[in-house]
């Protein structure tokens, strides 16, 4: 069973999948940073200081002994039930950005594959021994 598992892991497509998952996780962090650190602040600035990450609707009472900041993160850490629609908007934007970038990658790859398929195949190079035999044959025909 251990050998069968090793053979399964050693297959190329499993290793390719593992690499893709690792790169995808790193790329997701990049898009999260792009959304949270670049796009959302610009949108907030355009809408007059509107901070999407701190937009929520409390669904339960705030504990009377809570004296922390009245922010989404602070109240969520305290256990207050909330509808965090601003965080949801941010996650949806992350997804849309990531999906659009993947779409661009796939579209580019499909175009490259299509160009290769359309390109006429170059004739295969003739092996040296075949070329030599062809020259000998041609010389023999000239002498005959």
pLDDT tens figures, 26-80: 888 888 888 888 887 888 788 787 777 788 898 988 888 888 888 888 888 888 8
Q: Is the pLDDT of residue 2 over 70?
A: yes
Overall pTM surpassing 0.75 (yes/no) = no
Determine the pLDDT at residue 122.
Answer: 67
Q: Are 62 and 55 in contact (CB under 8 A)?
A: no
Q: Are 76 and 82 in contact (CB under 8 A)?
A: yes
Q: Which residue has the higher pLDDT, 51 or 131?
A: 131
pLDDT band for 102, please (50, 70, 90 cuts). Answer: confident
pLDDT above 90 covers a percentage of the chain that reads 3
Angle at 37 between CA 49 and CA 98, to 5 degrees: 120
Determine the pLDDT at residue 74.
Answer: 86
What is the pLDDT averaged over residues 2-16? 74
């Amino acid at each position: 069973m251990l050998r069968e598992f090793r053979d399964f892991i050693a297959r190329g497509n499993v290793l390719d999948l593992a690499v893709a998952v690792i790169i995808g996780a790193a790329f997701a962090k990049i898009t999260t940073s792009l959304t949270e650190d670049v796009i959302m602040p610009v949108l907030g600035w355009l809408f007059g200081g509107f901070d999407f990450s701190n937009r929520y609707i409390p669904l339960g009472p705030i504990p009377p002994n809570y004296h922390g900041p009245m922010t989404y993160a602070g109240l969520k850490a305290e256990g207050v039930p909330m509808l965090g629609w601003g965080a949801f908007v941010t996650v949806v934007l992350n997804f849309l950005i990531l999906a659009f970038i993947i779409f661009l990658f796939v579209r580019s790859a499909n175009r490259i594959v299509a160009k290769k398929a359309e390109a006429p195949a170059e004739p295969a190079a003739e092996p040296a021994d075949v070329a030599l035999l062809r020259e000998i044959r041609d010389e023999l025909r000239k002498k005959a």
